[in-house]
Structure 1
Amino acid sequence: MSTADAAAPTPTIVIDHSAQDPHAELWFAEPPGFLPLPLDALLPEPGSEAAHALRATVEPFLNSAPDELHRLQFIAHVAAGQQLLAALQETGTVHCSIGLHRDDVAVNAAPEPLLSFFTVSWRQIATTPRGVTAARAAASASEDAHIEYLELPCGPVTLTESTSVPSSSLPTPLRQIRAHIPHPDCKRLAVLTLGTTALARRAEYRAILHRIVESVSFERPLG
Structure 2
Amino acid sequence: MSSSEIVIHDSVNDAQAELWFAEPAGFTALPLDALLAEPDSPAAERMRTAVAPVLEAAPSEAVRHRLITQVASGQQMLGALYASGTVHCSIGLHRDDVDAMRSGTHLLSLFTISWRETNVAPRSVTAARAVTSVEGHTRVAFLEAPCGPAVLSETTLRSADGGALPQRPLLQVHAHLPHPDCRRLAVLTLSTTATARREEYRAILRQVVETVRFVHPLGGDS
- Structure 1 residues 179 and 14: CA distance shift in structure 2, 3 A: closer
SS of the residue corresponding to residue 147 of structure 1 reads: strand
- Alignment partner of 1:209 out of 182, 205, 212: 205
- Alignment partner of 1:25 out of 4, 18, 22: 18
Q: Which amino acid aligns with 2:167?
A: P
Where do 4+ consecutive residues of structure 1 move more than 3 Å?
A: 13-17, 141-144
Task: Report the CA distance between 1:98 and its aligned residue.
Answer: 0.4
Q: Which amino acid aligns with 1:220?
A: H
Question: Structure 1: how far apart are the matches of 2:176 and 2:8?
Answer: 24
Task: Report the CA distance between 1:35 and its aligned residue.
Answer: 0.6
Task: Report the CA distance between 1:32 and its aligned residue.
Answer: 0.8
More strand by share: 2
Task: Report the CA distance between 1:14 and its aligned residue.
Answer: 4.8
Which digits, 9 at most, give the CA deviation of each residue in 1:26-79, with x for residues without a partner?
111101111111100111112111111111111111111122111111100000
**Is the Cα contact below 8 Å between 2:127 and 2:176 reproduced in 1?**
yes
Question: Structure 2: how far apart are the matches of 1:85 and 1:143?
Answer: 24
Equivalence for 1:94: 87
2:47 is aligned with 1:51: no
Task: Report the CA distance between 1:2 and its aligned residue.
Answer: 2.6
**Is the Cα contact below 8 Å between 2:7 and 2:23 reproduced in 1?**
no
2:183 is aligned with 1:190: no
- Structure 1 residues 104 and 141: CA distance shift in structure 2, 3 A: farther
Aligned positions of 1:40-189 closer than 5 A: 40-143=33-136, 145-167=138-160, 168=163, 169-189=165-185
**Is the Cα contact below 8 Å between 1:142 and 1:162 reproduced in 2?**
no
Which digits, 9 at most, give the CA deviation of each residue in 1:84-143, with x for residues without a partner?
101000000000010011111113343310000000000011111101101112313534
Count of aligned positions: 216
**Is the Cα contact below 8 Å between 1:141 and 1:160 reproduced in 2?**
no
Q: Which amino acid aligns with 2:123?
A: R
Question: Structure 2: how far apart are the matches of 1:144 and 1:153?
Answer: 23
- Structure 1 residues 138 and 144: CA distance shift in structure 2, 3 A: closer
Q: CA RMSD in A?
A: 1.5
Segment of structure 1 superposing worse, 66-75 or 15-24: 15-24
TM-score by length of 1: 0.92
Q: Which amino acid aligns with 1:2?
A: S
Question: Structure 2: how far apart are the matches of 1:90 and 1:143?
Answer: 23
Question: Structure 2: how far apart are the matches of 1:17 and 1:120?
Answer: 14
TM-score by length of 2: 0.92
Segment of structure 1 superposing worse, 99-108 or 165-174: 165-174
Equivalence for 1:7: none
List gaps (5 residues or longer) in structure 2: none
